[in-house]
Each structure stands twice: as structure tokens, then as C-alpha cells.
Structure 1
Amino acid sequence: MKKTLLMIALVTSFTAQANNKQELNKIESFSLLKKKGKYAIMVQNKTMLISSIITGEEMLKNNSKAHFEIVLIASVVKDIAEDNELKEIMKKANEIGIKFTSCEFAMNKLGVKKNQYLDFVQTTPNAFIYLFELQEKGFNQIIL
């Protein structure tokens, strides 16, 4: 009987320790973000654009005062001009506060005109310089 109780106590103890360890390894991903944080992601392709939009939606859902901007370079510059499904995704993202800025250098190289974009898409002569400017303004950045 003592051995059985000892075994039950040991199993319970190990189970509790395992559960505590799992909880310690879990990170509260939004708890460390600033209430009025500034975030910018530079993206090159459609897949990364969609992933960035999902990230922005999640961040703004948990922190509506944050500023979230996606800077567009390379092939995605042409994708957002031609892909109507992508335009709809971007329109919904913009409605919740995600900003979009496209690189004019890439637009020129790919034959894209500003009038092919939705009205809310801003442009900048050089996306890399623009990203440096955002950094100077205190934006946290990721380049994908």
C-alpha cells in the first residue's frame, strides 16, 4: 500500500513538473509589445506579403494604437498591381490600419504605374532609404 501511494505521489509530481515546464516555455507574444509601437516589414513576394498582412492583423487586433507598415519591393510590386484577389486582401488590411508603401524604383523596372494600385498604396522613390528613414523614426523592422 505504501509503495502504491509513493508511486502515485511520484507520478503526480512528475506530471505537475512537466506541465509547469510547458507553461514556462510558452511565451506571451503580445505582452512585450509597446502600446503605441511602430513596426515595418519589407517584403519581396506575394507569400511574404500575405504572411505579413496576417501578422499585422494579429498585432493590431491586440494593439489598435500600434503603427504597422508593409514596404513592398521586387516582384510583389507587380503582383499588387495585377492580382485582384491580392488587392482585396490588401483593402481589408488597410481598413484595419495596415499601411502599404511601394518602391518606385522596382515599379519602374517592372513597368508598373501608380494608377494600377489601390488609392491607399503610397510610393517612395527608394524603399531601402525609406526603411532607413522609418528606422530613424523608431520603427522596429524585419526584411523578408
Structure 2
Amino acid sequence: MVTDVQHFRASILTANEMNVKGNQYSFVIVVAGELAKDIAEDPSLLDDIAACEKIGAKIVVCENALSYFNIPLEKLDKRLYTTKNSWIYMFQLKDKGYNTLNV
């Protein structure tokens, strides 16, 4: 789970170094906190979203965070997924056997 742009970009670099698509890994970046607002409003992050799509990393944005910052779901890029609660989503990933990291 990432909450700021710096760690978001570090997550993308990690996914790229792991060769997620080539190794057929499942790599999910769960976006929460201030980053949920940034990813909806900062056009400079569109290149990062495109990079995730290219390398096979999925981005899931917390709807509760969007609500907190008064960001409508319609403002999100169509390549992004959402979840009502990022904490519950992380627990569900853990239950499915994912390795998780909160930064």
C-alpha cells in the first residue's frame, strides 16, 4: 500500500525490475491516503499509470480516500481499479497468498 508519489514511483520501479509481465507475476499497487487525491488530479502521474499498464502492474485506488478528499470516482483514469477500503483489500490479498508491503 502506498500513500505518496515517491513510494508510488518506487513501486513501479520495483515491478519493472521484477519483470512482472515476463515472469507472469501478479503485482498490485494499492493506493491510499494523499496519493489517491494526487493520482486523480495530477496529470504528471498519467505517465506512471501508463508505465504500470505496460509492465503489467495493477493499480487499485481506495474509494474511502477519494471520498475523504471529495474526489468523484469519475475523475479517475479509466485504467485504474478501485476498492471501497484499502485496508480490507490488503487483508484479502494477504489471504490469497500475496506478499504485502506498506510504504
What range describes the TM-score normalised by the shorter chain of this pair? over 0.9
Distance, in Å, in 1 between the alignment partners of 2:33 and 2:72 is 14
Q: What's the CA shift for 1:96?
A: 1.9
Distance, in Å, in 2 between the alignment partners of 1:62 and 1:131 is 21
TM-score by length of 2: 0.93
1:52 aligns with 2:16: no
Of structures 1 and 2, the one with the larger relative CO (CA 8 A, separation 6+) is 2
The structure in which a higher percent of residues are helix is 1
Number of the residue aligned with 2:51: 92
- 1:54 is aligned with what amino acid? L
Q: Report which of the two structures shows the higher radius of gyration computed on alpha carbons.
A: 1
CA RMSD between the two structures: 1.4
Q: Which runs of 5+ in 1 are unaligned?
A: 1-41
Number of the residue aligned with 2:27: 68
Measured against aligned partners, the alpha-carbon deviations of 1:69-95 in whole angstroms (never above 9, x if no partner) come to 000000000110111111111112112
Distance, in Å, in 2 between the alignment partners of 1:137 and 1:51 is 24
Measured against aligned partners, the alpha-carbon deviations of 1:83-132 in whole angstroms (never above 9, x if no partner) come to 11111111121122100001111100001122211112111110000000
Cα gap change, 1:133 to 1:96, in 2 (>3 Å): same
Cα gap change, 1:137 to 1:111, in 2 (>3 Å): same
Distance, in Å, in 2 between the alignment partners of 1:102 and 1:53 is 15
Q: Secondary structure at the match of 1:43?
A: coil
Q: Which runs of 5+ in 2 are unaligned?
A: none
How many correspondences in the alignment? 103
TM-score by length of 1: 0.68
Q: Secondary structure at the match of 1:60?
A: coil
